[in-house]
């Protein structure tokens, strides 16, 4: 795992779809929806949206690994280690400004939950087989535009809010993906193919 201060990296967050997640306030409640035009929420996948960064990031924890499986054969003392899939985890700490990530993770008044992203028409429910538009895309700019680490098809796994003695609030967003990340010198906005899932 590698930890970066918020001043050292820039992070962009989009959905994997041509639509984004919108959070609107309806009376005293919030509503979560799917729309291509997003002012308050998570924007759709495009190179322009991957270029607009989240504000007030205080820290990024990046973990890269692989899941191995041991296969034993009769008559052999040493088991074979085979890589099953890659696993990338990202924890973002940022100053809390609104309830967008609360609503996306926990759901709105009608029980709509957006932690698995959205297709071009509706929210994913987390129970169906992942498709190419499943999840979120994170672009982490490590060296002032020279190295951009892109995580594709990540699911929103955790959300916590911390309170300090002086009253400032921070929230931590945890994402995980089993799709191989892309490291390039530009944002990677190409849609994921079925063979890459």
pLDDT number for residue 63: 92
Q: How far apart are CA 21 and CA 82, in angstroms?
A: 38
Strand blocks (E) in the chain: 2-5, 10-15, 20-26, 29-35, 41-42, 57-71, 80-95, 136-141, 148-163, 169-177, 182-184
- For residues 157 and 174, the answer to whether their CB atoms sit within 8 Å is yes
pLDDT number for residue 93: 94
- For residues 61 and 173, the answer to whether their CB atoms sit within 8 Å is no
Domain boundaries, the chain: 2-196
Query: Running DSSP on this structure, what letter comes out for residue 43?
Result: B
Q: Which tokens is 61 given?
A: 């924890």
Which ranges constitute the DSSP H helices of the chain? 47-51, 100-106
pLDDT number for residue 14: 93
Q: How far apart are CA 100 and CA 80, in angstroms?
A: 46
What is the chain's pLDDT, residue by residue, as a tens digit (197 residues)? 788 888 889 999 999 999 999 999 888 899 998 988 888 889 999 988 888 899 889 999 999 887 777 777 777 777 777 777 779 999 999 998 888 999 999 988 888 999 999 988 889 888 888 888 999 999 999 877 688 999 999 999 999 998 877 776 899 999 999 898 999 888 888 888 888 87
Q: How far apart are CA 36 and CA 22, in angstroms?
A: 9
Bridge partners, residue 11, by sequence:
140
- For residues 152 and 177, the answer to whether their CB atoms sit within 8 Å is yes
Domain 2-196 has CATH 1.10.3470: no
- For residues 57 and 146, the answer to whether their CB atoms sit within 8 Å is no
Burial class from Cβ neighbours inside 10 Å (0-12, 13-18, 19+) for residue 76 reads exposed
């Amino acid at each position: 795992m590698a930890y970066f201060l918020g001043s050292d990296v820039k992070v962009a967050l989009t959905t994997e779809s041509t639509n984004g997640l919108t959070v609107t306030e309806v009376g005293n409640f919030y509503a979560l929806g799917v729309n291509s035009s997003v002012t308050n929420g998570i924007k759709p996948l495009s190179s322009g949206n991957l270029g607009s960064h989240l504000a007030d990031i205080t820290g990024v924890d990046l973990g890269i690994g692989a899941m191995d499986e041991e296969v034993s054969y009769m008559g052999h003392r040493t088991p074979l280690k085979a890589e099953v899939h890659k696993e990338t985890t990202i924890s973002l700490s940022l100053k809390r400004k609104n309830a967008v990530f609360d609503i996306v993770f926990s759901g709105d008044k009608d029980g709509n939950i957006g932690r698995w992203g959205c297709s071009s028409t509706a929210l994913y429910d987390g129970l169906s087989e992942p498709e190419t538009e499943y999840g979120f895309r994170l672009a982490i700019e490590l060296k002032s535009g020279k190295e951009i680490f892109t995580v594709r098809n990540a699911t929103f796994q955790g959300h916590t809010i911390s309170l300090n003695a002086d009253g400032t609030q921070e929230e931590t967003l945890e994402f995980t993906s089993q799709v191989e990340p892309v490291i390039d010198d530009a944002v990677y906005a190409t849609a994921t193919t079925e063979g890459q899932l």
